[in-house]
Amino acid sequence: MTLMRFFTRTRFWAVLLPLVFVHQALQAEIRETSVWWLPRNVNMFGHEIDFIFYVILGLTGVTSVAVFSVMIYFLVKYRARPGVPAIHSHGNNTLEVVWTTIPVFIFLALAIYGNEQWTQMRLRQPPADAIPVAVVGEQFGWNVRYPGPDGKLATMVASKVGKENPFGVDPADPAGADDFTTYNEVVFPVDRPIRLYLGSKDVIHAFYVPEFRLYQDMVPGRVYDFVWLKAEATGNFQLACNQLCGQGHYKMFGKLSVVPLAEYETWAKGKAPTKVSVQETKTTAPVTVAER
């Protein structure tokens, strides 16, 4: 009774409802599209992931409606009534076999399909024209390394990743001489495969972009070189860390843009270190440190 009075007589709703609306407005601010449903998908692999999501949602949705309908019907129909004797059921073998066999085949189909999609996403070699991009998480931001005109990234060695060398590269590596780095700024060209090299400087972080349907934990001491993607549409997204990685976790996010190839090339040219600055970097600081 006291609880009822709280809901009906206090200003509970007057306080709660505006909060709900403010929360939704903030959500809309954070997400580019679709506050109520899945964010839009812009990755090549996302179609299959969304497909299996809808299949599972449909199966479990139909099943739960059916189960609850039968349950409520039986609750009412077989309720205790004076003078009506109880029915003692000892099971039904046919029913048992049917409702065990059908789910077995459904789960098998889901497992086989899911396994095949995972193979495509993570076990297949990325296409040869994929642009390599290294992303290394740290408390609390993203170090990003792009190849220069040679299209090659310096080799990343997990054991060399550290405070002063976020990408774990050898400063003498010729492939890395023209690499350039950004901080909390990621730009990908549309319709071009991107091969990621993911790592962490300190604690576990996670590369997570809902619009790419892509999630990968980054455990320190490893380089993840098997994650790749291909964006099919342009747009601005957020690369937000999805592992609680410390007190500043909430602010660990980078701007991620997918742009036309020409725009990407212009952007990269503007970032690429000139020959002179590479020489300077080599003599003054042997290790490339990400820009702040």
> What Rg, from alpha-carbon coordinates, does the chain have?
27
Stretch that binds Cu ion, among 23-31, 75-83, 161-169, 205-213 (CB under 5 A): 205-213
Total residues in contact with Cu ion, by rule CB under 5 A? 4
> Is 113 or 208 the residue whose CB approaches Cu ion more closely?
208
When asked if residue 198 is in the footprint of Cu ion (CB under 5 A), the reply is no
* From 145, 205, 213, 230, residue interacting with Cu ion (rule: CB under 5 A): 205
- Distance of closest approach, residue 52 Cβ to Cu ion, in angstroms: 28
State in angstroms the smallest separation of the CB of 249 from Cu ion.
5
Nearest distance in Å: CB 29, Cu ion: 21
- The type of residue at 224 is Y
Min CB(162)–Cu ion separation in Å:
17
3-state helix, strand, coil in the chain (%, to 5): 40, 20, 35
Tokens 């046919």 belong to residue: 94
**Closest distance between Cu ion and the C-beta of residue 47, in Å?**
29
Interstrand relation of 131-138 and 205-209 (parallel, antiparallel or unpaired): unpaired
Question: What does 235-285 look like in DSSP terms, one character per residue?
Answer: EEEEEE--S--STTGGG-EEEEEEE-HHHHHHHHHHHSPPHHHHHHHHHH-
- Least CB distance to Cu ion at residue 148 (A): 28
Judged by beta carbon, residue 187 or residue 239, the one nearer Cu ion is: 239
Query: How many Å apart are CA 267 and CA 78, to the nearest integer?
Result: 71
At its nearest, how many Å lie between Cu ion and the CB of residue 23?
24
Nearer to Cu ion, 136 or 252 (CB): 252
**Choices 21-29, 66-74, 211-219, 238-246 (CB under 5 A): range interacting with Cu ion:** 238-246
Burial zone of 73 (CB within 10 Å; 0-12 exposed, 13-18 middle, 19+ buried): exposed
Nearer to Cu ion, 131 or 196 (CB): 196
Phi, psi dihedral angles at 144 (to 5 degrees): -125, 135
In angstroms, give the least distance from the CB of 203 to Cu ion. 7
DSSP 2: H
Q: Which is nearer to Cu ion, 177 or 256 (CB)?
A: 256
209 lines the binding site for Cu ion (CB under 5 A): no
Q: Which two tokens stand for residue 95?
A: 């029913």
User: Which amino acid would we find at residue 112?
Assistant: I
* Cβ proximity to Cu ion, 181 vs 200, nearer residue: 200
The two three-digit tokens of residue 52, written as one number? 């299996």
Nearer to Cu ion, 142 or 228 (CB): 142
CA dist., res. 228 & res. 214, Å (int): 9
- Site mask, Cu ion, residues 241-270, x = CB under 5 A? x---x------x------------------
Distance (Å, whole) CA 79 – CA 86 = 9
Q: Which two tokens stand for residue 63?
A: 């099943």
Q: How far apart are CA 169 and CA 224, in angstroms?
A: 15
Residue ranges in contact with Cu ion by CB under 5 A: 205, 241, 245, 252
